[in-house]
Every structure is written in C-alpha cells, then in structure tokens.
Chains A and B, each alone.
Chain A
Amino acid sequence: MLRVENLSKHFGGTQALKDVNFEVKPKEIIGIIGPNGSGKSTLLHTITGIHKPDKGSIWYEDKNITSIPLEDRARLGIGRTFQNLRLFKRLTVWENMLIPAIQLKKSKKDMEEQASELLNLVNLTHLKNEQAQNLSIGQQRLLEFIRAMMLDSKIVLLDEPTAGFHPNMIQTFIDTLLELNRRGKTFVIIEHNIPAIMEVSTKLIAIAAGEVLMSGNPEEVHSDAKVVEAYLG
C-alpha cells in the first residue's frame, strides 16, 4: 500500500534520514519508535510532502508520489496528524471536521453524517459547537485524529497521538483506532507510549539517528539489545 525506498534527507550537516526502507500493507498498524531526534517526524513530513527527500522514493498504491504536492497526497488517501497539534483553533469542532469536505465530491449530508458518527465515536459530540482552542489537549488530539478520517484516508499517519492524554483517554483512543482498523483503515503511528504502541501494533519499526535499526514483530523489536541501547543510550 505504502512503500518507502532508500529515503534520505539532511538539514545542513545533520543527516535526518538515511536510506530508510519499509513497506506498509493494507490494514496493518505499524508502530515507529525511537529516541527524540531520531528522524521519526521527519519521516512523516517527507511521506506527506512537507519535506522533499534528497534521495529515494515514496510509492502509494503502486504510484510514485515522491514529487506530487501535499494536497494531492491528501486527496489520494494519505491522512495525518501532527506532533504539535495543527487544528484550526479558532474554528469550531464541527467546522474542523468539515474542512476536508470542501475538496471532496461527497454530498453535504454524507459528510455531516460521517462527522457526527466520528464525533460520537470519541465522545466529542457535545462539544461540536465549541472552538477547538477551548478543548483540553487530549480532546484536541482526538479531534485531530478523527478529522484526518474525514478525508476518507486509506492510510493515516499519526505523530505521537497520545501525547498529553489523560490516562482514561488513552483507552478511548486505542478503542477508536482498533475499531477504525477493523473497518479497513491502515495506520502508521509514531509513539513514545510503549505499552500503547505494543497493544495496537502489528509490526514495529525502530529508528535511531535517521536509520532503521530493526523492524518486525513488536515483542522482538522492543526487546532487541540494539533498540534498548538506542533508547537508553
């Protein structure tokens, strides 16, 4: 579904990504772990088109998308959330949800039904007329997560989706994620919350200094000596 081949990116003298390769199959939940500054967010930025890679290519459903604009990648079905929340804070929750509708050819009624269902799934229906800035950080993260679904994305890239969550909310997030996965959505998740990522991932990729250290079964990757060393220094 999504394939990254020999992806490299540097900023000045810093090599942020170095020959990164991996593949995501439909309905997988791929977890990406690694210490701070290891290149995880840069990888997502490059896949979604915010950064242009120095080398390598990105393939989505057998189409080379390395050079196409951000908005076209979104319309093809690649959604994402950000490590630093990128909600439209002075729009209401409802308006945030309907933003993607402007570009899609779906009817207003269909879009509104979809938005209502997603808000209900994460218990935010009662806040639909609130400005996004008035929500708690956890609620804002949930909103950003379900907003990404409004693009009818087939694959959604989540950058630290549980950061700032109240412990109770983590379970709401996990339940929603697994429910959407059952409905056919594919996820790539960057996460520092190891118990959460271990619970949901079907495959784990460990990154350090811009390189893939190891990928595979979550248990094996998590307990690998190289990965432990990269995390603990």
Chain B
Amino acid sequence: MDFLVPLLAQLTNGLIIGFIYALMALGLTLIFGVLKVINFAHGEFYMLGAYISYIASRMLGLHPIIGIIAAVAVVFIIGMLMEKALLTPIYEDKVERKDEYALLITFGLSIFLMNGALVVFGPYQKSPEPLASGVLDLGVLSVSSGRIYAVVLAIIFMAATLFIINKTWLGTALRALSQDRDASTIMGINAKTLGSIAFGLGAAMAGAAGALLAPVFLVFPIMGVVPAIKSFVIIILGSMGSIKGAIYGSLLLGIVESLGVFFLSPSYRDGYSFLLLIIILLVKPKGLFGGSQWNN
C-alpha cells in the first residue's frame, strides 16, 4: 500500500499536465479545423506566451496572473497578424496547393520565432514569477499551489473557448467555416477575417499554456518543441480536428506519462506519448474519436 500515495501524486500531476496539454492541443485543433493548416509554429506561440509572462512578472513587476492574461492577449494579436501577413495571401485564387504552402510557411515561422527569441533573450533559461508559492494539502496528497492555480486557469481558458465556439455567433460562423469555406462565403461570412481570428485564438491558447507552465518548466527559446510534438500526438490520437479528442487525448497522455514515469522510468517520459500513439493507431487507425469533427 506504500506505493499508493506516490502513485496518486503522479496521477494528479499527470492530470494537471494533461489539462494544460489540452489547452495547447485545443488551439492546434482549432487552427486545423478552421483553416485546414497544420501549424508547425504552435510550439513557438507557446514559447512566446512564456516569455511574455516572464517579461510582465519579472521585468515589469506585474502580478503573475496579469502576466498570463497579457500573454494570451499579445499572442492572440501576434497570431492574427502572422496569419494575415503570411497565410491569408495564399488563399487567393491564383495560388495552387494552398495546404502545402501553408505548412511550409508555418514551418519557416517556427524557425524564425525560435531564432528570434535566441537573439533577443539569449540561450539561458529564465523563470517567471510563480502563480503561488507553497503547497496545498489535500489529505494524503500535497500539491504545489502554483500547479493548482495553473490547472484552474487552464480549465477557465478552455471553458471560455468552448463557450465561444458553441454558444456565440462567432463560434457558429467558425464552425460553419470549418465545414465549408465556399458555402460560408456565399452566406456572407468574411472567411479571411474569421480565419485570422481562428488562428489568433489557437495561438493564444498555446501562449496561455506556455505562460501557465513557464514557472514549472522554465523559459528558453526551444522550450516549445516538445509540447508542440505532444500536441501533434494528441490531435492524431484523439482524431484530427476533434475537440473532444483533443481534450480526452490530452488527459490520457498526461496520465500515461505519469504512470510510465512511476512504473517504468522517468528517463523515457517523452517516449511514452509515442508508444501510446502507436498502440491507439494500431487499434483505432482513425484515432479515439475517428469520424468526429471539429465542432463536436
């Protein structure tokens, strides 16, 4: 029975990380669902969010929560502008193979942002002000208060996004756009503007995840690479474009990682996600929610 408490602690930790992965994966799936673009720069929006929260909390001395809100707002604007400048032009009629170009553009953007951060902030790790200090006593378990705050904020951000998608006219228009771009346009929807908003929202969710995890994993230019890869794993195992798949896939990944760390070895933490992906795809080639769509 001695192993139960540490196991429970690992599972709790896995769930906490899972919720924050979910935030990031939801952003990726939102961009893919609306624009049909695989955003290779998603990890760099995560990194930008972390740096913005670092600047706000350490350099400007603002409260960490203000830093996180600033990260969401600034990354949203950067995401929108990037989409407008780099992706909108390829949706002109004269451009063929739009999806392939979009993929290459986000790949280039990823390299640009990563190296830009290296030039501006240097290669060394930085640590933003934690959301809270101390631990929260949950009976047999003690969990870092900072992590509890982070998961609560992640759930609030996800709930707000799902509310926008499911309950507002903007969300209805985004869901329509995700189903049929031409028909949406014929119905008077400005697909270019909504595409920019969707990209901004998706990027902002990655930025929020980065800002929430920054005090835990520290901030450095290539910090977005592993979370981005995990987001890709999540949206593939949850089924490309499925919101439900992104959320459940993230929680599953968080739990499997923590169980792997507990029962096998912490050295292969990042490898367990790929093992999970291979097993899921062998059993369900279309992912956990195969056939499910972006607006489900």
Residues of A within 8 A of B (CB): 48, 50, 52, 69-71, 74-75, 79-80, 82, 86-91, 95, 98-104, 147, 151
Q: Which residues of A contact B179 (CB under 8 A)?
A: 88-91
Query: Which residue from A52, A86, A91, A95 sits with its C-beta under 8 Å from B182?
Result: A86
Query: Which residue from A52, A91, A99 sits with its C-beta under 8 Å from B189?
Result: A99
- Is there an interface contact between B172 and A100, defined as CB atoms closer than 8 Å? no
Within the complex, what minimum Cβ distance (angstroms) separates B89 from chain A?
14
Q: Which residues of B contact A52 (CB under 8 A)?
A: 93
Query: Which residue from B169, B183, B185 sits with its C-beta under 8 Å from A101?
Result: B169
Within the complex, what minimum Cβ distance (angstroms) separates A105 from chain B?
11
Within the complex, what minimum Cβ distance (angstroms) separates B33 from chain A?
11
Q: B190: nearest residue on chain A (CB-CB)?
A: A71
Q: What CA separation (Å) do A147 and B180 show in the bound complex?
A: 15
- Is there an interface contact between B170 and A102, defined as CB atoms closer than 8 Å? yes
- Is there an interface contact between A99 and B186, defined as CB atoms closer than 8 Å? no
* Interface bits B179-211 vs A (CB < 8 Å: 1, else 0): 110111111111100000000000000000000
Q: Which residues of B contact A74 (CB under 8 A)?
A: 185-188
Q: What CA separation (Å) do A98 and B180 show in the bound complex?
A: 16
- Is there an interface contact between A100 and B188, defined as CB atoms closer than 8 Å? yes
- Is there an interface contact between B172 and A98, defined as CB atoms closer than 8 Å? yes
Q: B175: nearest residue on chain A (CB-CB)?
A: A91
- Is there an interface contact between B188 and A71, defined as CB atoms closer than 8 Å? yes
- Is there an interface contact between B188 and A104, defined as CB atoms closer than 8 Å? yes
Q: A69: nearest residue on chain B (CB-CB)?
A: B185
Within the complex, what minimum Cβ distance (angstroms) separates B86 from chain A?
20
Q: A144: nearest residue on chain B (CB-CB)?
A: B183
Q: Which residues of B contact A151 (CB under 8 A)?
A: 187-188
- Is there an interface contact between A86 and B93, defined as CB atoms closer than 8 Å? no
Within the complex, what minimum Cβ distance (angstroms) separates B191 from chain A?
7
- Is there an interface contact between A102 and B169, defined as CB atoms closer than 8 Å? yes
Q: Which residues of A contact B191 (CB under 8 A)?
A: 71
Q: Does B293 contact A (CB under 8 A)?
A: yes
- Is there an interface contact between B180 and A88, defined as CB atoms closer than 8 Å? yes
Q: Which residues of B contact A48 (CB under 8 A)?
A: 186
Q: What CA separation (Å) do A99 and B175 show in the bound complex?
A: 10
* Interface bits B148-188 vs A (CB < 8 Å: 1, else 0): 00000000000000000000011011011001101111111
Given the interface pairs A91-B175, A101-B169, A102-B169, the reply to whether A71 lies near B183 with Cβ below 8 Å is no
Q: B177: nearest residue on chain A (CB-CB)?
A: A88
Residue with the greatest number of chain A CB neighbours at <10 A, chosen from B186, B190, B295, B296: B186
Q: Which 3 residue pairs across A and B have the least CB separation, nearest first?
A: A86-B183, A103-B188, A74-B188
Within the complex, what minimum Cβ distance (angstroms) separates B88 from chain A?
12
- Is there an interface contact between B295 and A99, defined as CB atoms closer than 8 Å? no
Given the interface pairs A86-B180, A86-B182, A91-B295, the reply to whether A147 lies near B187 with Cβ below 8 Å is yes
- Is there an interface contact between A75 and B188, defined as CB atoms closer than 8 Å? yes
- Is there an interface contact between B189 and A103, defined as CB atoms closer than 8 Å? yes
Query: Which residue from B180, B182, B190, B296 sits with its C-beta under 8 Å from A103?
Result: B190
Q: What CA separation (Å) do A79 and B93 show in the bound complex?
A: 21
Q: What CA separation (Å) do A87 and B182 show in the bound complex?
A: 11
Query: Which residue from B169, B182, B184, B295 sits with its C-beta under 8 Å from A50?
Result: B182
Q: What CA separation (Å) do A109 and B281 show in the bound complex?
A: 47
- Is there an interface contact between B93 and A99, defined as CB atoms closer than 8 Å? no
Q: B292: nearest residue on chain A (CB-CB)?
A: A90
Q: Which residues of B contact A50 (CB under 8 A)?
A: 182, 186
Q: Which positions 81-101 of chain B face chain A at CB distance < 8 Å?
A: 93
Q: Which residues of B contact A91 (CB under 8 A)?
A: 172, 175-176, 179, 295
Given the interface pairs A52-B93, A91-B295, A98-B169, the reply to whether A86 lies near B176 with Cβ below 8 Å is no
Query: Which residue from B182, B187, B190 sits with its C-beta under 8 Å from A100?
Result: B187
Q: Which residues of B contact A87 (CB under 8 A)?
A: 183
- Is there an interface contact between A90 and B293, defined as CB atoms closer than 8 Å? yes
- Is there an interface contact between B186 and A86, defined as CB atoms closer than 8 Å? yes
- Is there an interface contact between A70 and B185, defined as CB atoms closer than 8 Å? yes
